[in-house]
Chain A
Amino acid sequence: MVTSKRSKIGDWVVVFLCFLLILVCLLPLLNIFARSLSASEALIRNEVTLWPIGLNFEAYRMVLSDVKYTWSLTWTALLTVICVFVSLVMTTICAYPLTYRKLKGRRFFSAFIIFTMYFSAGTIPMYLLLNDLKMLNKPVVLIIPYCLNVFYMIIMRSFLLQIPDSLRESAEIDGAGPVRILFQIYLPLSTPVIATLCLFYAVGRWNGFSDALMFMNDRTYYPIQLLLYNIINSISSIEISTQEGFSPPGLSETLKAATIMFATVPILLVYPWLQRYFITGVTLGAIKE
């Protein structure tokens, strides 16, 4: 009796701690959300905490009517789609041949690829290379240089290796070649890993900014995060207020919050639905061959 009562109290403590965790994870976002919907005067008076005060959609209207933001959001979305496609194709055609145990040179290719995970030349050699390739400041520099991630390739390979060899062998007896086996047997069975890698590559591109910061000078092709960085650090806030002229000083604060919401919400809408998949993906990454 005593022990069960004790463990019941323990259960409540656990629930309470988890509840605290949820609060700590969510409150910052709720605060930003409230700020984005509040009246700028309320922000200046420091009244806004977790719910909007003086509810209005002015900041969102301003973001959506400013070409600078809408273009950056569209460009980043487009870039993300292209990157995910290129990366998935590259990852698949790299991982799939490596699952053939009969492939001669398989060990060499694996070592050749995995070596780059442990030793990299560094930022500056990459910069010099891109300079020599004449890729600097061109949109392609945001797509190609990091399009194939070794760690994700290993996740894919581990997943494909779990598909029983007997499936492949029976298809080979029926006369199917490797490419046909890939398309008709392997890919249809790979939804979990494809979904996971889609999410990882998409998040990486949508949230990434350091490659743009280093290799891209053309402001037209700045991804949303870099634009956001400049806004948050008020590099362009003077610009904004002079453009608007009549705007009250607190408005730039609600504007920042609204921009943050725009850059965050797309991912937050997607990831919970893929949870089942990315958990398998992350776990597979831990398996080494």
Chain B
Amino acid sequence: MKTTVSTRLISLPEKKQKIGTYLRRYGILYLLMILPLTYFIIFKYIPMTYIQVAFKKYSIVKSAWEMPLADSNGFEYFIKAFSNRDFLYSLRNTIMLNLLDLVLGFPAPILLALLLNELRIKWFKRITQTIAYLPHFLSWIIISGMAVQLFAPTSGLVNILLNHMGIKSIPFLNNSANWVVTYVFLGIWQSVGWNTIIYLAAITGINPELYEAAAMDGAGRFRKIWYVTLPCLRPTIVVLLILSLGRILGSEFDRPYALGNALVKDVSNVIATFVYTYGIRGLQFSLTTAVGLFQSAVCVIFLFMANALAKRFGERGII
């Protein structure tokens, strides 16, 4: 007891001195961080306090804290959302389009990376990669503009070619079922090249001795891919799969908004566009905040579930 008191007496000024030198040396780092942290507080954390609007009756003259609680213990707008036909449609469309993206769009860059990896001619490989990255740099507005012109029933290039082959014009963007296919296809077109980057980097990291050993055992091209490349890509694939699963209820705004049109509303409206039309255009703030909260919460839950699942299968996970 006595000794601890005495050491404390000695170390107190010493500690103070230590803090002094620490601050003199590194205090400037905290100063640097003030601006970014303020940014996160104002534009990321303060909006979270506005989430309470979802549970309250919105009033333009009151602050979010002063608004009266909504009916049904505050859950009025959640109940309203789930009895709103437009919302239910947008929920269905979000899940449907994301699932199609996952099933068809997720394997595409893996296949393309495997293909590019088989390319022996260096300069041709580099040109192919550069051109494959191109669509990633186009905005959805531009892609939509090009798609409208290319897929136009009478004047579009694709339908002109189809007509030459004796096939009738297909209304790619004006019919619900066709629109969904076009939407998914354009998504793959836009992102497949870009998404190969990460897989190609992982492939470069594979130990070449593995391939030599496989060749020694008489493995051909496909066996090398199946027994060497793909198993080495497994951790990368799992991490990216977790992220995509976490986004299954997340919705992009740009893509469906730019590609959608009045004729395919029943399949092109997703949660993000619903929030835009009902919230910012229709000023139903409580309803759309509730919808947004539902979406964010489900996204987080999905992410954690996918992460736990990956860990269960012996992968590292992301969180």
**Which residues of B in the span 124-179 have a Cβ within 8 Å of any Cβ on A?**
124-125, 127-135, 137-142, 144-150, 154-155, 157, 160
Q: Nearest Cβ distance between residue A23 and chain B, in whole angstroms? A: 9
Q: B254 at interface (Cβ–Cβ under 8 A)?
A: yes
The answer to whether B300 and A256 touch across the interface, beta carbons within 8 angstroms, is no
**Which residues of A in the span 15-60 have a Cβ within 8 Å of any Cβ on B?**
15, 17-18, 21-22, 24-29, 31-32, 35, 43-44, 46, 49
Q: B293 at interface (Cβ–Cβ under 8 A)?
A: yes
Q: Return chain B residues, CB-CB under 8 Å to A21.
A: 112, 128, 131-132, 193
The answer to whether B29 and A100 touch across the interface, beta carbons within 8 angstroms, is yes
Q: Once bound together, how far apart are the Cα atoms of A6 and B145, in whole Å?
A: 44
Q: Name B141's contact: one of A100, A104, A228, A279 (CB within 8 Å).
A: A228
Q: B285 at interface (Cβ–Cβ under 8 A)?
A: yes
Q: Once bound together, how far apart are the Cα atoms of A207 and B132, in whole Å?
A: 18
Which of B7-15, B39-47, B86-94, B206-214 forms contacts with chain A?
A: B39-47
**Which residues of A in the span 128-182 have a Cβ within 8 Å of any Cβ on B?**
128-129, 144-148, 153, 177-179
The answer to whether B132 and A179 touch across the interface, beta carbons within 8 angstroms, is no
Q: Name A121's contact: one of B22, B30, B292 (CB within 8 Å).
A: B292
Interface residue range, chain B: 35 or more
Q: A188 at interface (Cβ–Cβ under 8 A)?
A: no
Q: Once bound together, how far apart are the Cα atoms of A22 and B32, in whole Å?
A: 46
The answer to whether A267 and B137 touch across the interface, beta carbons within 8 angstroms, is yes
Q: B306 at interface (Cβ–Cβ under 8 A)?
A: no
Q: Nearest Cβ distance between residue B303 and chain A, in whole angstroms? A: 6
Given contacts A118-B303, A119-B300, A123-B275, contact A203 B29 (CB under 8 A): no
Q: B241 at interface (Cβ–Cβ under 8 A)?
A: no
Question: In this complex, what residue of A is CB-closest to B36?
Answer: A94
The answer to whether A207 and B198 touch across the interface, beta carbons within 8 angstroms, is no
Q: Return chain A residues, CB-CB under 8 Å to B53.
A: 124-125, 128
Question: In this complex, what residue of B is CB-closest to A89?
Answer: B35
Q: Return chain A residues, CB-CB under 8 Å to B220.
A: 3, 6-7
Which of B68-76, B95-103, B115-123 forms contacts with chain A?
A: B115-123
Q: Return chain A residues, CB-CB under 8 Å to B155.
A: 43-44, 46
Q: Return chain B residues, CB-CB under 8 Å to A113.
A: 36, 40
**Which residues of B in the span 13-59 have a Cβ within 8 Å of any Cβ on A?**
22, 25-26, 28-30, 32-33, 35-37, 39-40, 42-51, 53
Given contacts A118-B300, A123-B280, contact A109 B33 (CB under 8 A): yes
Question: In this complex, what residue of A is CB-closest to B279?
Answer: A124
Q: A65 at interface (Cβ–Cβ under 8 A)?
A: no
Q: Name A31's contact: one of B116, B124, B149, B201 (CB within 8 Å).
A: B149
Q: Give a binary string over B269-281; 1 marks a CB under 8 Å from any A CB, 0 the rest.
A: 0001001100110
Which of A66-74, A240-248, A268-276 forms contacts with chain B?
A: A268-276
Given contacts A208-B139, A260-B145, contact A25 B131 (CB under 8 A): yes
Q: Once bound together, how far apart are the Cα atoms of A178 and B29, in whole Å?
A: 7
The answer to whether A90 and B35 touch across the interface, beta carbons within 8 angstroms, is yes
Given contacts A14-B115, A129-B47, contact A121 B36 (CB under 8 A): no
The answer to whether B37 and A125 touch across the interface, beta carbons within 8 angstroms, is no
The answer to whether B33 and A94 touch across the interface, beta carbons within 8 angstroms, is yes
Q: Once bound together, how far apart are the Cα atoms of A222 and B295, in whole Å?
A: 29
Q: Nearest Cβ distance between residue B33 and chain A, in whole angstroms? A: 5
Q: Name A210's contact: one of B128, B157, B254, B296 (CB within 8 Å).
A: B254
Question: In this complex, what residue of B is CB-closest to A120?
Answer: B296
Q: Return chain A residues, CB-CB under 8 Å to B36.
A: 90, 93-94, 113, 148, 153
The answer to whether B197 and A121 touch across the interface, beta carbons within 8 angstroms, is no
Q: Name A264's contact: one of B30, B142, B253, B303 (CB within 8 Å).
A: B142
**Which residues of B in the span 250-296 have a Cβ within 8 Å of any Cβ on A?**
253-254, 257-258, 261, 272, 275-276, 279-280, 285, 288-289, 292-293, 295-296
Q: Once bound together, how far apart are the Cα atoms of A165 and B218, in whole Å?
A: 46
The answer to whether B258 and A229 touch across the interface, beta carbons within 8 angstroms, is yes
The answer to whether A116 and B44 touch across the interface, beta carbons within 8 angstroms, is yes
Q: Name B157's contact: one of A49, A103, A109, A178 (CB within 8 Å).
A: A49
The answer to whether A121 and B48 touch across the interface, beta carbons within 8 angstroms, is yes
Q: Return chain B residues, CB-CB under 8 Å to A226.
A: 141
Q: B221 at interface (Cβ–Cβ under 8 A)?
A: yes
Q: Nearest Cβ distance between residue A208 and chain B, in whole angstroms? A: 7
Q: A225 at interface (Cβ–Cβ under 8 A)?
A: yes
Q: Nearest Cβ distance between residue A7 and chain B, in whole angstroms? A: 6
Q: Once bound together, how far apart are the Cα atoms of A251 and B265, in whole Å?
A: 29
The answer to whether B48 and A123 touch across the interface, beta carbons within 8 angstroms, is no
**Which residues of A in the span 76-135 have a Cβ within 8 Å of any Cβ on B?**
90, 93-94, 96-97, 100, 102-104, 109, 112-113, 116, 118-129
Q: Once bound together, how far apart are the Cα atoms of A146 and B44, in whole Å?
A: 10
Question: In this complex, what residue of B is CB-closest to A283?
Answer: B201
Given contacts A28-B150, A112-B40, contact A122 B292 (CB under 8 A): yes
A residues in contact (CB < 8 Å) with B: 3, 6-7, 10-11, 14-15, 17-18, 21-22, 24-29, 31-32, 35, 43-44, 46, 49, 90, 93-94, 96-97, 100, 102-104, 109, 112-113, 116, 118-129, 144-148, 153, 177-179, 203, 206-210, 213-214, 225-226, 228-229, 232-233, 253, 256-257, 260, 263-264, 267-268, 271-272, 275, 279, 282-283, 286, 288
